[in-house]
Amino acid sequence: MRRVSIFGATGSIGQNTIDLIRRAPDEYDVVALTGAHNIEQLARDAIELNAQVAVTAEDDLLDDLRDALSGSSVEAAAGAAAIEEAAHRPADWTMSAIVGAAGLAPGLAALEQGTTLALANKESLVCAGELLLATRKAHGATILPVDSEHSAVFQALIGEDLAAVERVIITASGGAFRDWPLDQLAEATLEQASSHPNWDMGQRITIDSASMFNKAMELIETREFFGVSPEQIETLVHPQSMIHALVGFNDGALMAHVGPPDMRHAIGFALHHPTRRHIPVERLDLAAIGTFEFRAPDLRRWPALGIARDVMERGGLSGAVFNAAKETALDAFIAGQIGFLAMADVVRATLDTLEASDGHIDATMTLDNVLQIDHLARKAARAIIEQ
């Protein structure tokens, strides 16, 4: 039996992971499931999968969780520290699918016990890529990317020599506003930004897809995880979302990873790695699809892509500033405090502010320093929003 834990079990990635585990329950011994607000789902899944412990991030919801678990043998716990404690419980495979920087500390704790970390939480790599990879190395752990583009790159690189890689092309659907007139973007509403043409995902990443902050994060993620230089990373708009990424080699060959826009593929790949198993995703009928389209990204439409370039060049803790500012700006957009295009302005202004302050961005990458700069950047971003 493989011991598995799922952090962010109640979310979109978490539920897709449970869907795959549920198909072969005898193969898995579920250690921990975590969530935040969705207590009912968390308790139902924890009881069904006979988890050791269910943890909510919300201290106030501990009693509700206890009630929902009553009569079962599943332990209940609450709070960020309890999530970290659950991540320290030995597991062979751990899904990191909490949304936001809150996924970093549990991810590091899971690596410390030598797990195979299936990493959906891209924020960890953006905020603290170097730290995550160093922790993996120090504890003989493994990280498998779950973001579909990075799973695609990982798969295209199997059996290849990284030194022969010329470029990595990350595709982007273009999100909700791909074809909107530029002059209307500033007026885009929350509802319009919250629907994705191809993927069914959590609300935050869906809005980040419309603004391409999601793609911006993924460019940084690519640099951190695969160690390629910023100049080697390209973005390509591909409205069908079926080619997830391409890797270009020094002989001119391009290896493309093609599949339906269904996260269970990338999750299943990470779950069964290094083998491949049947996964119940749609099989593509390419003749019926007929055409794949490609376009160069327009930086006026998606300023986040330009900001990501600057962050990759800057290095240090600027990824943590970028992520914290982006999360704060996204909160403000969701709350109706700023417009859609203002999110990029807030992120850029926060980076400028932190850059101008005394060397925080160049501090050593420790968890404490990342959390500290995350805090400072959120404060600076809020001040910019309230100006």
Q: Which residues bind ligand NDP (CB under 6 A)?
A: 8-14, 35-38, 57, 83, 97-99, 102, 120-123, 147, 199, 201-202, 204-205, 263
**Considering CB distances under 5 to 8 angstroms, the limit depending on partner class, which of ligand NDP, Mg ion, none binds residue 101?**
none
We find the least distance from the C-beta atom of residue 221 to Mg ion, in angstroms, to be 9
Write out the two tokens for 96.
Answer: 């990191």
Contact in structure between 281 and 259 (CB atoms under 8 Å): yes
Contact between 374 and Mg ion by CB under 5 A: the answer reads no
CB atoms within 10 A of CB 138: 11
Contact between 147 and Mg ion by CB under 5 A: the answer reads yes
Write out the two tokens for 3.
Answer: 């011991």
We find the least distance from the C-beta atom of residue 280 to ligand NDP, in angstroms, to be 16
Residues 156-175, one symbol each (x = binds Mg ion by CB under 5 A, - = not), give --------------------
Question: What are residue 181's phi and psi, to 5 degrees?
Answer: -60, 140
**Considering CB distances under 5 to 8 angstroms, the limit depending on partner class, which of ligand NDP, Mg ion, none binds residue 13?**
ligand NDP
Write out the two tokens for 289.
Answer: 């699809």
Nearest CA to 7 out of 79, 100, 83, 72 is that of 83
**Considering CB distances under 5 to 8 angstroms, the limit depending on partner class, which of Mg ion, ligand NDP, none binds residue 57?**
ligand NDP
Which one, 243 or 349, has the nearer CB to ligand NDP? 243
Which one, 28 or 225, has the nearer CB to Mg ion? 225
DSSP of 344-384? HHHHHHHHHHHHHSSSGGGS---HHHHHHHHHHHHHHHHHH
Which one, 98 or 109, has the nearer CB to ligand NDP? 98
Query: Residue 312 and residue 114: Cα distance in Å, rounded?
Result: 28
* Residues facing residue 77 across a β-bridge: 55
We find the least distance from the C-beta atom of residue 253 to ligand NDP, in angstroms, to be 27
Which one, 13 or 131, has the nearer CB to ligand NDP? 13
Which one, 83 or 219, has the nearer CB to ligand NDP? 83
Contact in structure between 107 and 127 (CB atoms under 8 Å): no
